[in-house]
Amino acid sequence: MIALLVLLSLLFLWTVVSDRLARWSITAPIAFAASGILLSGQDRPVVPLDMETHTFQRAIELVLAVMLFTDATEARDYARLREPVGEGRLLGIALPASVVLATLAGALVFPGTNWWLLTVAALVVMPMDLAPVLTILRDERVPLRVRAALNGEGGFNDGLISPLFVFCVAHLLSAEGDTFGDLVLNAAKGAVFAAIVGSVLGSLAAQMVRRALTAGWAKPASLRMTALALPFLTYTASVLVGGNGFVAAFVAGLWYANTVSVIGSGSLDLVQDVSHLLALASWYVFGALAAEAFADGIALQVLAYACLALTVARFVPVVASLTGSTLTRPERVAIGWLGPRGVTSIVFAVLAYVQLPHDQADFVVNVTAATVLLSVVLHGVSAEPVARWFARHPRPEERVPPPGPGQ
């Protein structure tokens, strides 16, 4: 209860001073992470966090489920674009290549480390998340298709990574009697069950909402609770039948997104606000984990790995995969660079922390904390210069035409 009281108090204080702090480039993630370091990351924490409990693990999993659901509903905002923005290339080519490069970088920096553990670390640190630089999505100086590509990638990459993450963690935890084939079969069954549950509940919810509006059983404002309940409902139902709750929530979001045009975009405001609140709680937990991870300082190996994950492992696959697309070279470079790490990596790292043995958990948490902290600094500082560059070099079709006669 103390932790809940502190988080709610921090939320209230943040809302009343957020604009003032924004002038000093202090964002909500930075504020909550700093609070986690100060209040829960000490030897004698003011607000102790017991991360070993089953309840805490379920809570973190629900955070990711809600995030995946909201991410799956956000791609609709860019339907007005008449040309592809490279999401298929980013997700189908760049993302797998980035995970492979990050795994190889881990083998180079941490020789002798278990390959499965290196793969888990790569799956944790490579999904990009725009939480640290959300302002870039609303900055009209940045071309719309750059923002669309980043938002599409950020919305879908965690949904694709989550089953692989669960599989690799399961392999590290597998008993001696579990063969690789058993793990593959269990992962496949979990994904199939999740897809079925997510499709059934998502499509059923969409049909019921449409029917309710047509028959006058409910008003659009009251249906905001439907969007909030659906990811929790889908996650729970999928877990009960042995499915992957993350995949189920993501699939349900894809189905439910079709109803937004009928109900109105405001129908997702409540679930998005809750998702944002849960994300802030995750940043607080991240602060506590980062303080513990770096109590004795940051190892040069960890820092080197974080640099490679944020630069080479991200930039090279993205730019290479987008070569030949309709995106200009500056746009490809911007997409390759603007790959911040945030809540997705934090949630995966916390799940690894509570599931893996101590040494393996510490390894994942250390590289994640270094990567996210470095990302907050690098991408937070560079987002504004990138926007200014695009403002000075607009594409011809984006330039505002001069006023005509009589205007």
Domain boundaries in the chain?
Answer: 6-18+25-394
Among 400, 387, 401, 377, CA closest to 330: 387
pLDDT at 44 over 70: yes
User: pLDDT band at residue 179, thresholds of 50, 70 and 90?
Assistant: low
pLDDT score for 1: 64
pLDDT at 389 over 80: yes
pLDDT at 47 over 80: no
The residue to which tokens 């069950």 are assigned: 193
Mean of pLDDT values over 205-233: 86
pLDDT tens-place string over residues 76-115: 555 555 566 677 889 899 999 999 999 999 999 999 999 9
Any idea which of 180-194, 220-234, 358-372 has the lowest mean pLDDT? 180-194
pLDDT score for 403: 44
Average per-residue pLDDT in the chain? Answer: 83
User: pLDDT band at residue 397, thresholds of 50, 70 and 90?
Assistant: low
- Assigned CATH class of 6-18+25-394: mainly alpha
Give the alpha-carbon dihedral of 208, 210, 213, 215, to 10 degrees.
-70
Please list, in sequence order, all residues whose beta carbon lies within 8 angstroms of the beta carbon of residue 147, skipping any fewer than 6 positions away. 78, 136, 137, 139
Contact between 246 and 61 under an 8 Å Cβ cutoff? The reply is: yes
The residue to which tokens 């986690």 are assigned: 36
Angle at 125 between CA 325 and CA 134, to 5 degrees: 65
Higher pLDDT, 26 or 294: 294
